[in-house]
């Protein structure tokens, strides 16, 4: 497995398996979404996102493309207790998928691995969950 993908998986594992109690909502929310994304649909999404990908950068780009194409923007969520609007997705030069969270004139880019999704999630948020699940496998 290449460096970029291994680093993304290491980050995910390190970050989410060592959460402090205040952030425990993430794992329970993730579990709820995972249960709604059945194995067959997950496998179809993986195939669609990663078809014709030959290296780690192309794999992440495939996931970014599917998220960007399917996620309904803008949507409201809360980051660190602050209500924000997610209005844009980007793929960084280091192959990290990030969401722009805006509040008034200020904005902050947040990795989608850290982005809390509202309940119910916006249309297309199953692609974010599938990406998170794919990184865990």
The 3 state secondary structure assigned to 50-86 is HCCCCCHHHHHHHHHHHHHHHCCCCEEEEECCEEEEE
Q: How far apart are CA 67 and CA 77, in angstroms?
A: 17
Residue 8, pLDDT above cutoff 70 = no
Cross-strand pairs, 76: 85
User: What is the pLDDT confidence band of residue 2, given thresholds at 50, 70 and 90?
Assistant: low
What average pLDDT score do residues 119-124 get? 95
- 136 versus 4: the higher-pLDDT residue is 136
User: What's the pTM?
Assistant: 0.75
Q: Looking at the 3D structure of the chain, how many domains does it have? A: 1
Distance separating alpha carbons of residues 63 and 65, to the nearest angstrom:
5
Residue % of the chain over a pLDDT of 90 = 72
Residue 27 has pLDDT above 50, yes or no: no
Residues 117 and 128: beta-carbon distance below 8 Å: yes
Q: Which domain holds residue 116?
A: 3-136
pLDDT score at 30: 46
């Amino acid at each position: 497995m290449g460096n970029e993908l291994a680093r993304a998986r290491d980050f995910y594992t390190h970050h989410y398996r060592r959460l402090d109690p205040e952030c425990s909502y993430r794992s329970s929310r993730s579990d709820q979404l995972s249960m709604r994304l059945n194995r067959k649909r997950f496998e179809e999404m993986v195939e669609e996102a990663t078809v014709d990908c030959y290296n780690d950068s192309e794999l992440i780009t495939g996931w970014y493309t599917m998220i960007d194409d399917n996620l309904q923007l803008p949507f409201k969520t809360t980051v660190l207790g602050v209500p924000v609007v997610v209005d844009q997705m980007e793929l960084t030069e280091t192959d990290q998928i990030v969401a722009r969270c805006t509040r008034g004139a200020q904005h902050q880019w947040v990795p989608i691995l850290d982005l809390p999704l509202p309940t119910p999630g916006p249309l297309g948020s199953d692609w974010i969950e599938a990406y998170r699940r794919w990184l865990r496998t």
